[in-house]
Amino acid sequence: ATATAPSLRARRLRLRYGEFTALDDVDLDVLPGRVSAVVGPNGAGKSTLFHCLAGTLRPDAGQVRLGERDITRLPAHARTRLGIARTFQQLAVFPSMSVADNVRVGAEQGRVADPGAVERALRLFALDGAVRSAPAAGLPTGTLRRVELARALAGSPRVLLLDEPSAGLDSAEVAALTRVLRALADDGTALLVVEHDLDLVAELADVVHVMAAGRIVTSGPADHVLGPEAGR
Ligand code: ADP
Ligand code: MG
């Protein structure tokens, strides 16, 4: 077992785009060894919350903490160094770089630059053989998602933030992704998944938060929040 990850905590987050309130007093805990999920309709504020946790947006009010540390004002790259890795809803790999080099960048930007972690991340996401030296440009979406995930993991993060990780994946790829994410959580990583695929959420998440109009309106175990039929 690895050292326990600190919790990532949001308290009373508020964020406005002009007059429009996108986050309205949001509290959220992302716990080590757990998969937390945020679900809700388009426009609910899920990605905005995600950006506040990752550091790509600064909230107008409220606090983000990693363990005891206040990171509200830290930029994204500094949070990555502290062990908060993320993927992007819109894929963001370096197109001219090879798959393996894309993943190495993740190790260099992460908490620890460990070549062993690069190899483990490549293998965990089945990036083996010739694909490792292929330029990222032109690879299928499913492969690029795995490159992004491997890149996030290569820095040995303690918190992993995933915005729509199943987007563009076929059902076999979603099943494989579910197994890998479960194993990472069981190893002590704190995972947060923003996801519209409720079957995936029901299968994977330990706790589900439902957002609507900038607020978290319900939280609880997946079968409680989504109903016993979800994911069956
Ligand atoms: P979700 O990820 O749940 O679909 P978002 O966090 O992307 O929701 O967006 C929440 C609300 O904020 C939406 O109504 C969206 O139109 C609005 N919004 C998002 N980004 C911006 C922006 N840069 N400027 C203005 N409004 C935005
Ligand atoms: Mg979104």
> Which residues fall within 8 angstroms of residue 19, CB to CB, at 6 or more apart?
none
Rounded to an integer, what distance in angstroms lies between the CA atom of residue 162 and that of residue 30?
12
- Residues ≥6 apart with Cβ < 8 Å to 98: 132, 133, 134, 135, 136
* pLDDT given at position 169: 87
Write down the mean pLDDT value for the chain.
Answer: 93
Residue 230: its pLDDT value, please?
A: 65
Give the distance (Å) from ligand 1 centre to CA of residue 14.
Answer: 13
Mind listing the pLDDT tens digit for each residue in 79-88? 999 999 998 7
Which residue's CA lies nearest to atom 22 of ligand 1? 17
Tell me the per-residue pLDDT of 192-232, one tens digit each, with 9 for 90 and over. 999 988 999 999 999 999 999 999 999 999 989 988 766 55
Question: Which residues pair with residue 63 across a beta bridge?
Answer: 11
Beta carbon of 6 within 6 Å of any ligand 1 atom? no
Please tell me the predicted confidence (pLDDT) of residue 189.
96
**Distance between the two ends of the chain, CA-based, in angstroms?**
31
Query: ipTM above 0.90?
Result: yes
Confidence of residue 1 (pLDDT cuts 50, 70, 90): very low
Tell me what pLDDT residue 80 has.
96
Residues of the chain with pLDDT > 90, as a percent, come to 83
2 pLDDT more than 60: no
The DSSP 8-state label assigned to residue 206 in this structure reads S
Shortest-distance ligand to the CA of residue 40: 1
Task: Select from 156, 75, 18 the least CA-distant residue to 64.
Answer: 75
| 20, 21, 58, 162: residue to mutate for ligand 1 pocket, most atoms within 8 A of CB | 20
Lowest mean pLDDT among 47-51, 61-65, 88-92, 160-164: 88-92
For ligand 1, atom 7, name the residue with the nearest CA.
47
Length of the chain: 232
Tell me how crowded residue 18 is: count the other CB atoms within 10 A of its CB: 6
Angle of helix 99-109 versus helix 141-154 axis, rounded to 10:
30
* CB-CB contact of 32 with 207 (8 Å): no
pLDDT of residue 168: 82
Residue 61 Cα to chain centre, angstroms: 23
| pLDDT at residue 3 greater than cutoff 90 | no
Alpha carbon nearest to ligand 1 atom 23, residue: 17
Ligand 1 touching residue 79 (CB < 6 A): no
pLDDT tens, residue by residue, 152-189: 999 999 999 999 888 888 899 899 999 999 999 999 99
Centroid of ligand 2 to alpha carbon of 99 (angstroms): 26
Average pLDDT over every residue of 48-67: 97
**Separation of CA 100 and ligand 2 centre (Å):** 28
Read off the pTM.
0.93
Query: 142 alpha carbon to ligand 1 midpoint, in Å?
Result: 26
